[in-house]
A = this chain, B = another copy of it.
Amino acid sequence: MRDVAIIGIGHTKFGRATKMSHELFSDATLQAMDDAGVELKEIEALFQGAALPGFEEGQVMPAAFSAADLNLGPIPATRCEGACASASVAIRDGAMWVGAGEYDMVIAGGVEKALMMGTSFASRTFAMACHAPTEGPVGLTFPGVFAMAARLYSINYDMPLDTVREKMASVSVKNHRHGALNPLAQFYKKLGDLKVEDVINSKFVADPITLLDCCPFSDGASALVLCSAEEARKYTDEPIYILGMGQGSGGPLSKMADLTKPVSRISSAKMAFKQAGLSPEDIDMLEVHDCFTIAELIALECMGFFDWGEAADATADGQTEIGGEIPVNMSGGLIGKGHPIGATGASQVYWVVKQMRGEAPRGNQIDPVPEYGMTDTLGGDFGTLCHFILGRSKK
C-alpha cells in the first residue's frame, strides 16, 4: 500500500443546525476542497460516514445523494456505518482505495443531523447500536453502559466510587475548557470555567454518570480530501500523512470479559501502531472518543498511554493538558465540541491536522506543533473501534 496524505479539511460549526445533513456534508466538503485547492473533476470517489440518516431525515443511501449534491458526477459514493465510528470507517476505507492505487484523490468524512436531539427518542434511537437481541430487551442505553464501566473501574482498581467521580469530572472540566475556546465547538464560550463540583453536582443521568459527564447530541459534518502522498505536495506545503490505521470489532456486552478493557479498542490501537511503526511514546497529542468522561480514561489505558487504572489520577493531575505527558482532546472532544455521531471520526482527524499545521484555536495550540497525533473513535458499546496515527512527515 502506498502512502496517503490529507491535503484538505473541512468542518461545520457543531451544535444545532438549520441545514439538512446533505447540505452540512456539502459545506464541509467544499471547505475541504477549497482548503486543498482541488477541483470537482479531480475527485474520483466519495466515502461517507452516517449513522442514522433513515431515522433522522427518512434518507438511506445518503452518500449517493451527496455526490449528486456536490455535482461530482456518477463517481462511486459509499456510505459506511459503524455507529459513532462511521466517519472513521469511511476514512479508513477511502484511504485504502487511495493507498491501493485505485484512486488518486477522494473525499472521506461524515455527517449527522441529530433531529431527535432533545426529544425522548434520542437515547432510545442511539441505543440501536447496542446489541439488539440481548441488550435491547433489558432497556440498556449508552449512559447505562458507561455507568457500569465507571463502577467496574472503581472495583477493578480499588478506588472509591466518589474518587472515580472526581477524576471523571476532571475530564469534563478539561474538555469543556478546551471546547469553550473552539469557535466550531457546540459549547464555544460556554462552560469554560466549570469546576469539578459542578460536574459532580449536576443531575444524574445514570448513576454515577451525571449530565456533565456526557457529551451532547449535535448536528454537524466534517470532510477530508485524501490523495496519494507522492502527489500531495503539488497541492499543499503541509500535507499530513496517514501513517497507521486500525479497526476492531466487539460483540455483545455479555461476551466481554471486562468492560474497562475492551479487546476491540486494544486490538485496533495495536493495529494502528504496528502499521505506523510507532508506539505511544512517539505520539504528541490525542483526540479520543470521550462520549462519557469514563470513556476517555478507558481509551487512554487501552491505547497504552497509561497503565491500567492510572489514567484517572493522571488526568486529575493535568497530565492530559498542554505541558503534560500527552495533551488529550484539545478541540474540546465530544464533551466540549459536540458529537454529531456520523461526523465525529472526521472531526477528530480535522483537529489533529489543525494542530499539526499550527492552526488550533487560540489557547489550545500545542507548542511546538505536534509531529505525530492520533485519533480514537468508538462505535456503540465497543462494537466498532478505529484509530488513525497521523504525521507531519512520511515514515
Contacts and interface: CB of A to CB of B under 8 A. Distances in A.
A22 interface: yes
B133 A22 contact: yes
A228 B100 CA distance: 14
Q: Is the interface of A mostly helix, strand, loop or mixed?
A: mixed
A59 B20 contact: no
Nearest to A46: B249
Contacts of A79: 80-82
Contacts of A63: 82, 249, 384
B76 A248 contact: yes
Contacts of A72: 249
Interface stretch (A143-151, A185-193, A262-270): A262-270
Contacts of A250: 64, 68, 74
Contacts of A252: 65, 68
A61 B76 contact: no
Interface stretch (A49-57, A176-184, A329-337): A49-57
Given A54-B55, A74-B267, A79-B82, A68 B132 contact: no
Interface stretch (A89-97, A153-161, A165-173, A203-211): A89-97
A1 interface: yes
A102 interface: yes
A57 B384 CA distance: 19
A82 B74 contact: no
Interface string A116-158: 0000000000001101110010000000000000000000000
A60 interface: yes
A20 B198 CA distance: 45
A247 to B, nearest CB: 4
Nearest to A341: B60
Interface in A30-71: 46, 51-52, 54-55, 57-61, 63-65, 67-69
Contact of A380 (B22, B64, B83, B102): B64
A78 B80 contact: yes
Contacts of A101: 1, 100
A379 interface: yes
Interface of A: 1, 20, 22, 46, 51-52, 54-55, 57-61, 63-65, 67-69, 72-83, 89, 93, 96-97, 99-102, 128-129, 131-133, 136, 247-252, 255, 263-264, 266-268, 379-380, 383-384
30 contacts: A1-B101, A52-B60, A54-B55, A59-B128, A59-B131, A59-B132, A59-B133, A59-B136, A61-B83, A61-B129, A61-B380, A61-B383, A64-B82, A64-B249, A65-B131, A65-B251, A65-B383, A67-B251, A68-B251, A74-B250, A74-B267, A74-B268, A76-B248, A76-B249, A78-B80, A78-B93, A96-B96, A96-B97, A96-B100, A100-B101
Shortest 4 CB-CB contacts between residues of A and residues of B: A68-B251, A100-B100, A76-B247, A64-B383
